[in-house]
Structure 1
Amino acid sequence: MDTTMRIGTRTDAESAASITIVSIPAGHPYVQRATADPRVTVLADPVAPGTDPAVWWPPAALDPAWIGAYADEASLLHIHFGTESFPPGHLTACLDAAHAVGWPVVFTLHDLEHPQLGDSSAYLAQLDELMVGADAVTTLTVGAARTVRERWGRRATVIPHPSVLPRSAAIEPAVGSGRVVGVHLKDLRPGVDGPGTVRVLGAALRALRDAGHDVRGEVRLHHRVRDADAAAEVRELCAASDALDLVEHERLEDDELFAALARLDGCVLPYRHGTHSGWLELCWDLGVPVAAPRVGFFAEQHDDGTVASFSRTDPAELATALGTLWSAPASRPASPARDALVEQRRRVRSVMDAAIAEHHAELYRRLLDGTHPLEGRTA
């Protein structure tokens, strides 16, 4: 059965039906885009008294008592991410509570390994709980759906990642004469291989320079990091290379981030492991070519020649990947070809985002009216 997302046609009755859901989380941009269908209302993330409303984790709604108390406020539970702080068995209790009040449960598999954790064993056990108890499973790529089928015997519907760049964003990148390849290490979370990526990038840039390319690397790092030793090694590697510039800064505001990415001829993803990448989606929105390590399913997110894969330990493969990406006229920032590409992708995203939201709404409707097979639900 083909469970890849398709653009559907709604009847007037279906369009008028209202569906209120609890999403874990609710306020994340991904969720807001995926639930933008006018039929769907998402309850706001509960905020504990005295806490920052912008901090949704750990999600207070993912609690059996909360679900029972708000049983009449919504009709369905959709779990995306933010589960990692809960102990074993907690998610099963939440799914049981949801089913007890009549809520179907949807789980979207974003990550097969947790990007924020060094040891994903507890998270993998949570996936086992979710795969047993969820009534429907979705994911972002065909490869991830295949893994779900092979590992858990579940059928996952493929619904692509929605856009990341806001429609209102105005991008005016400043560009120099030579090419710039960037890598954003941010705060060096466990899933990021800072020193390894910088070492491979430096060697790849030296090879490209030897081949006649005018290119330099821009390595960005937050002032506050999770791994001080890795940050120190990154600084040493950049200081020892005439091809790498290190920029340390606070966390960038959105407009600053968009401008920093838009001025790149290529962006290298620094992940040691992973499944899908919102960063890759933002680069796609901005027309920035991406070199992604050959892990997870990054390359499947956009199979259009704008994402090139490389072994994360092989400088020659990275150099080849960058050279391949640069063969497209739109690889140059602030060029007419790049500007045209960004506008074209905005139009594509407008259509696809609507289809993604519609597909979620249709999935919710089928679960609620009993026309979706509950093939994973426990008795």
Structure 2
Amino acid sequence: MTQTLCVASVPAGHPYIDRALAAPIGSPVQVRVLPDPQPVGAPAGQWWPPAIVASGWINSHRADADLLHLHFGLESFTVDELVAAVDAAHDAGWPVVYTVHDLENPQLVDQAPHVRQLDALLPLVDAVVTLTPGAAREIAERWGRTALVLPHPRLLPNDVEPPRGLAHDLPVIGVHLKDLRPSVDGAATVRILLGTLDLLRDRGVNATGEVRLQRRVRDDEQREQIRFLCAERSDVVLIEHNRLDDEALAEDLAHLDVCVLPYHSGTHSGWLELCWDLGVAVAVPDVGYLREQHDDQATIAGFSREGLDGDRVESLAGAIARLLDSAPKPGSEARHDLAVRRLEERTTTDEMTARAHADLYSDLLAERS
């Protein structure tokens, strides 16, 4: 007999939730996720700030779900509001699960409010989940909680053929700075990238750079620095654009030989997961537990974000050179075959992750019955 559980997820309308909770047909426990309630004044399709956490929502919808699962998007709320939401869930008979995606919140400059949220929530919730063993160790050390480690699911939709990208004469090294949120080391990453292209050229490796930036950014001064840095370079193109939809983003990433992640802080990276789905090589800064998300030296290479610019250039140049030697090229059958193979592997691991979530929910509800 199939058991169906209804989860109030914060948020619901996000690819991570779609993939991580979608138990396969035939599973003894099926999970249904409530759609995101419409925040007051928000446009259609916007889930933030999550109305489920807002005062009174859980009390008014206690019959609509079996469990509360917190993921991210909580920075709009005070610690007292989050504690009140967990207390309301418990009063309604709902267990509460918290997946710690971020030990450092990428949306915040000052991490103190996020740490206060973690300090309040982690002792209070019924179960803790995270994405990597390193994050689980840190959670155990700081809060004494044992976190269930479940890997990030695929981000490329199931019904989408992996884009092949286009072959080109010179390797393209790209960096996406998006809207320059606080965790992005925008101008510094561009400066190091330019130095890296020079160093690679001196060593006989000619490559071009591509810097992408959204038209609406959070730091106008830093955008001007980036424009200035790119303006005089014939080997670098700066592309400013509106926010890309998922299909356009995948197409754009697929034509890169190497994608450089521009973070100076953080814990995990969904961007890394999308590159993994596409078979795109990634240069990863030594931030958080990004390197633990996938163990593959052919398409993932680490570089240091510490030290003087010369040291950082040397480290990034070494990472890119290794990736250019080992990773399949855009437009090649090898790249396409790698992406297809990885997505097939993801089907299995994502089913395991969904089943693990369903089992966790079922166990927690049994404990409260």
TM-score by length of 1: 0.91
Report the CA distance between 1:234 and its aligned residue.
Answer: 0.5
Are 1:369 and 2:361 counterparts? no
Instruction: Summarize the alignment of residues 264-283 of structure 1 with structure 2, pairs less than 5 Å apart.
Output: 264-283=256-275
Tell me the SS of whatever aligns to 2:268: coil
Which of 64, 69, 79 is matched with 2:60 structurally? 69
Q: 2:277 aligns with which of 282, 285, 289?
A: 285
The correspondence of residues 17-166 of structure 1 with structure 2, limited to 5 A, is 17-37=3-23, 39-48=30-39, 51-166=42-157
Deviations 1:333-375 (A, max 9, x none): 1112111101101110111111111111011011111299xxx
- Which digits, 9 at most, give the CA deviation of each residue in 1:142-190, with x for residues without a partner? 0000110011111001000000011222314222111001000011111
The alpha-carbon deviation at position 300 of structure 1 amounts to: 0.4
1:227 to 206, 219, 234: 219
C-alpha distance in 1, partners of 2:81/2:40? 23
**Partner secondary structure for residue 160 of structure 1:** coil
Offset from partner CA, 1:49-84 (integer Å, 9 cap, x none): 664231111111113521111111111100001110
The 2-side partners of 1:68 and 1:222 are apart by 40
The aligned amino acid for 1:283 is C
Aligned residues: 357
The structural deviation recorded for 1:92 is 0.9
Cα deviation, residue 311, structure 1:
1.0
Q: CA RMSD in A?
A: 1.5
Secondary structure of the 2:295 match is coil
User: CA, structure 1 residues 287+70, in 2 after alignment: closer, same or farther (shift >3 Å)?
Assistant: same
Q: Any idea what the Cα deviations from partners look like across 1:5-47, whole Å, max 9, x if unmatched?
A: xxxxxxxx4xx11111100011111111111015001111111
- In the other structure, the counterpart of 1:354 is 351
- Indicate the SS of the match to 1:322: helix
Distance 2:355 2:191 in 1: 44
The match for 2:315 is 317
2:309 counterpart residue number: none
Deviations 1:174-229 (A, max 9, x none): 22111001000011111111111001111111111111112111001111111011
Q: Deviation digits for residues 94-137 of structure 1, max 9, x if unmatched?
A: 11111111110000000011111111211110111110111000
Alignment of structure 1 residues 147-226 onto 2, 5 Å:
147-170=138-161, 171-226=163-218
Say if 1:53 and 1:213 are closer, same or farther in 2 by CA, change over 3 A.
same
Distance 1:185 1:101, change over 3 A: same
> Aligned pair in 2 of structure 1 residues 289, 20: CA closer, same or farther (>3 Å)?
same
SS of residue in 1 equivalent to 2:9? strand
Question: Cα 1:321–1:329, aligned 2, differ >3 Å: closer, same or farther?
Answer: closer
Distance 2:40 2:221 in 1: 37
Secondary structure of 1:183's counterpart equals strand
Per the alignment, residue 236 of structure 1 pairs with 228
Q: Is the 8 A contact 1:329 1:337 kept in 2?
A: no
SS at match of 2:53: coil
**Structure 2 regions of 5+ residues with no counterpart?**
307-311
Q: Is structure 2 residue 326 aligned with structure 1 residue 339?
A: no
Name the residue aligned to 2:326. 328
SS in 2 for 1:246: strand
Q: What CA distance in whole angstroms lies between the structure 1 residues aligned with 2:94 and 2:321?
A: 51
CA pair 50-245 structure 1, distance change in 2 beyond 3 A: closer
1:133 and 1:149 map into 2 onto residues whose CA distance is 14
Q: Which moved more, 1:38-47 or 1:144-153?
A: 38-47
Unaligned runs of 5+ residues in structure 1 are: 1-12, 373-379
Q: Tell me, in whole angstroms, the C-alpha distance in 1 between the residues paired with 2:247 and 2:33.
A: 27
1:277, 1:49 → 2: CA distance? Answer: 29
Contact in 2 for aligned 1:64/1:97 (Cα 8 Å) = no
1:186 maps to amino acid: K
